[in-house]
């Protein structure tokens, strides 16, 4: 490791054994660099002083991007992982630092995102004694164990590198997800003999050929096959595209499955039409999705056979016993299925025209949410096809999930079942930081934006060219509408006093502009995407939007 080699005076043994004297912090950082990480999103504090000292020494290999709140650091790491499909890391102090990062860690868990949290600890000898040390929290390790599947408390430098490599492997093995390494204030800075651990091999998916044959038979004989994609299908876009063509099967993606099949393909569908197709289907191939909406809301009966592909064997039968369960990474499993299928699948008539007509009929019905769709069309017209769109828990976000055309995998970031207000802006900052080669646009409401709006300072400090659109209706609009419509207009806790968003953005030195109409939004976006030397905030004042809920919470179609 280049930066470690500068410390030759600390090298205690020969190159043959590669044992070096280094601190626990240096060992963790060298191991992360050895795993290909080049950035850590972080907020310092005394428990992590030795970690930051080591980060100073590693600056040429691992950039430290500091944020203004731990929530920002962890969401940025999440955004980086989602936009690249690779592991990312953040570092925060214990107690309040950990809890501040908690919503993002929870979201990373729900999204199976490989995010590593480095969390400080009180002095090693005092852990668990309840002395009231700075940032002490009762049973921090226990709290962390409820949040992630893999966590380790590093107790000495000798253990640090292997613990890091094991965490990195756990984040990418079986069901991917976040992991945490805790380390005490005094242990980070302790020196000892360290053998750096190279990346450990991630176990490859074992293909169950019997199950593949069974799946191929079912799909080959299916009259109305349907493919449903969740976040677990994002790495299998080519395979899903080929299967869809071979079977003439529509592909439904909602939220995290969007973009697996290009929205320009007439077989690519979103929720409302997807529900119609669920009602007609005889075989469903579900790839990396919990199928919660389908099985709970839309219904299930014996006439529908389900083939599940999931990284987690426990996921298959949680709600319904599938006809075939395939466990592992979606891409290799679907490749095996593609190899087996031609022997089982006869020639199929094209469904292109039928699907085009049905898509057009739904587009007509979606005109009910025309104001949202007009803004989404403006964004789509300006965002390049590989540009990344980050949604939020807002009227515009709900509409985007069903109506924003997504062309490529990993270009529509949506937070999954946690749906935590405030994820958008900070996650998008991380996505834009990790993918400087493509424009990223975040949309949020005035409510959601203010959760992490202070990270505008981070965007300025690190010159992150994210474009953020704030749709300002002066309310937690979604909540307000529910109170108006379902609770007899008993409106409470949902009106908002906002800053002047343009003045707010400008006060940081960001580009900021207010636009009213979709065509003005297009112009503002075009300008922002052409001048990518810092962040841009676009405020769009809006009135109450028409409700999109009839297209999302749709009643049973079978069973």
Query: Closest separation between CB of residue 106 and ligand TPP, Å?
Result: 10
Chain CA centroid to CA 270, Å: 19
Q: 472: which 2 tokens?
A: 């300002």
Taking CB under 5 A as the binding criterion, the range among 183-191, 233-241, 306-314, 440-448 that sits at the site for Mg ion is 440-448
Q: 217: which 2 tokens?
A: 């038979």
Site string for Mg ion, 460-499 (x = CB under 5 A): -------------x-x-x----------------------
Contacts for 114 with CB less than 8 Å, ≥ 6 apart: 81, 86, 87, 88, 171, 172, 176, 177, 178, 179
The half-sphere exposure of 248 on its side-chain side, counting CA atoms within 13 A, is 16
Of 322, 445, 465, 505, the residue at the interface with Mg ion (CB under 5 A) is 445
Q: Which is nearer to ligand TPP, 271 or 287 (CB)?
A: 271
Rounded CA separation 79/88 (Å) = 9
Strands 63-66 and 115-121: unpaired
Query: Closest separation between CB of residue 473 and Mg ion, Å?
Result: 4
DSSP 81-109: HHHHSS-EEEEE-STHHHHHTHHHHHHHH
Strands 324-327 and 305-310: parallel
Our finding on whether 420 is near ligand TPP (CB under 6 A) is yes
Q: Which is nearer to Mg ion, 231 or 447 (CB)?
A: 447
Rounded CA separation 79/428 (Å) = 6
Taking CB under 5 A as the binding criterion, the range among 33-41, 397-405, 441-449, 453-461 that sits at the site for Mg ion is 441-449
Query: Closest separation between CB of residue 394 and ligand TPP, Å?
Result: 3
Question: Residue 478's binding partner, choosing from Mg ion, ligand TPP, none, with beta-carbon cut-off 5 to 8 A by kind?
Answer: ligand TPP
Name residue 537's beta-bridge partners.
468, 512
DSSP 24-78: HHHHHHHHHHHTT--EEEE---GGGHHHHHHHHHTTTTSEEEE-SSHHHHHHHHH
Rounded CA separation 453/474 (Å) = 16
Rounded CA separation 476/250 (Å) = 35
Beta-strand runs (E) in 359-420: 388-390, 412-413
Taking CB under 5 A as the binding criterion, the range among 193-201, 345-353, 409-417, 438-446 that sits at the site for Mg ion is 438-446
DSSP state, residue 495: B
Q: Which is nearer to ligand TPP, 464 or 475 (CB)?
A: 475
Contacts to ligand TPP from residues 347-406, by CB under 6 A: 393-395
Our finding on whether 476 is near ligand TPP (CB under 6 A) is yes
Contacts to ligand TPP from residues 427-466, by CB under 6 A: 444-448
Q: Which is nearer to ligand TPP, 476 or 501 (CB)?
A: 476
Q: Which is nearer to ligand TPP, 120 or 477 (CB)?
A: 477
Q: Which is nearer to Mg ion, 26 or 446 (CB)?
A: 446
Name residue 150's beta-bridge partners.
179
Question: Residue 312's binding partner, choosing from Mg ion, ligand TPP, none, with beta-carbon cut-off 5 to 8 A by kind?
Answer: none
Residue number with the smallest Cβ distance to Mg ion = 445
Q: Which is nearer to ligand TPP, 34 or 445 (CB)?
A: 445
Query: Closest separation between CB of residue 452 and Mg ion, Å?
Result: 15
Query: Closest separation between CB of residue 445 and ligand TPP, Å?
Result: 2
Q: Which is nearer to ligand TPP, 237 or 395 (CB)?
A: 395
Q: Which is nearer to Mg ion, 327 or 444 (CB)?
A: 444
Nearest to 463 by CA among 413, 523, 508: 508
Query: Closest separation between CB of residue 375 and ligand TPP, Å?
Result: 12
In angstroms, the first-to-last Cα distance of the chain is 60
Question: Residue 257's binding partner, choosing from Mg ion, ligand TPP, none, with beta-carbon cut-off 5 to 8 A by kind?
Answer: none
Binding site for Mg ion (CB under 5 A): 445-447, 473, 475, 477
Binding site for ligand TPP (CB under 6 A): 393-395, 419-422, 444-448, 473, 475-479
């Amino acid at each position: 490791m280049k930066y470690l080699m500068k410390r030759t005076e600390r090298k205690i043994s020969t190159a043959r054994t590669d044992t070096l004297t280094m601190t626990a912090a240096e060992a963790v950082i060298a191991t992360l660099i050895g795993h290909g990480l080049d950035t850590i999103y972080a907020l310092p504090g005394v428990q992590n002083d030795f970690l930051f000292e080591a980060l100073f020494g590693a600056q040429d290999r691992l950039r430290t991007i500091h944020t203004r709140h731990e929530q920002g650091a962890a969401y940025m790491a999440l955004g980086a992982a989602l936009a690249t499909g690779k592991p990312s890391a953040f570092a925060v102090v214990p107690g309040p630092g950990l809890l501040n990062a908690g919503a993002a860690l929870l979201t990373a868990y729900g999204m199976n995102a490989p995010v590593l949290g480095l969390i400080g600890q009180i002095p090693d000898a005092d852990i668990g004694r309840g002395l009231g040390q700075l940032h002490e929290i009762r049973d921090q390790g226990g709290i962390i164990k409820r949040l992630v599947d893999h966590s380790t408390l590093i107790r000495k430098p000798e253990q640090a590198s292997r613990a890091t490599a094991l965490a990195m492997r756990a984040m990418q093995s079986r069901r991917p997800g976040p992991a945490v390494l805790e380390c005490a204030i005094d242990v980070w800075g302790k020196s000892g003999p360290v053998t750096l651990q190279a990346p450990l091999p991630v176990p490859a998916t074992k293909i169950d050929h019997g199950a593949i044959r069974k799946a191929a038979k079912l799909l080959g004989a299916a009259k109305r096959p349907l493919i449903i994609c969740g976040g677990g299908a994002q790495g299998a876009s080519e395979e899903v595209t080929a299967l869809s063509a071979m079977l003439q099967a529509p592909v439904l993606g909602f939220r995290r499955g969007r973009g697996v099949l290009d929205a320009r393909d007439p077989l690519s569908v979103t929720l409302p039409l997807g529900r119609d197709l669920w009602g007609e289907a005889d075989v469903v191939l579900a790839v990396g999705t919990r199928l919660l909406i389908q099985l709970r809301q839309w219904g299930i009966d014996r006439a529908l056979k389900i083939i599940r592909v999931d990284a987690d064997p426990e996921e298959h039968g949680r709600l319904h016993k599938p006809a075939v369960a395939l466990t592992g990474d979606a891409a290799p499993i679907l490749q095996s299925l593609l190899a087996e299928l031609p022997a089982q699948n006869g020639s199929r008539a094209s469904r292109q025209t039928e699907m085009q007509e049905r898509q057009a009929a739904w587009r007509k019905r979606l005109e009910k949410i025309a104001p949202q769709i007009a803004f989404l069309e403006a964004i789509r017209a300006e965002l390049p096809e590989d540009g990344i769109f980050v949604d939020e828990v807002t009227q515009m976000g709900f509409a985007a999930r069903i109506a924003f055309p997504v062309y490529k995998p990993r270009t529509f970031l949506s937070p999954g079942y946690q749906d935590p207000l405030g994820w958008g802006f900070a996650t998008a900052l991380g996505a834009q930081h990790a993918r400087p080669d493509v424009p990223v646009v975040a949309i949020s409401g005035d409510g959601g934006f203010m959760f992490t709006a202070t990270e505008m300072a981070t965007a300025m400090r690190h010159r992150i060219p994210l474009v953020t659109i704030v749709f300002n209706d002066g309310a937690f609009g979604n909540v307000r509408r529910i109170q108006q419509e379902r609770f007899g207009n008993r409106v409470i806790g949902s009106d908002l006093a906002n800053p002047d968003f343009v003045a707010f953005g400008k006060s940081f030195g960001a580009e900021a502009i207010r636009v009213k109409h979709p065509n003005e939004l297009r112009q503002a976006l075009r300008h922002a995407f052409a001048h990518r030397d810092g962040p841009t905030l676009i405020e769009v004042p809006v009135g109450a939007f028409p409700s999109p809920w009839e297209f999302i919470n749709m009643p049973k179609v079978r069973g």
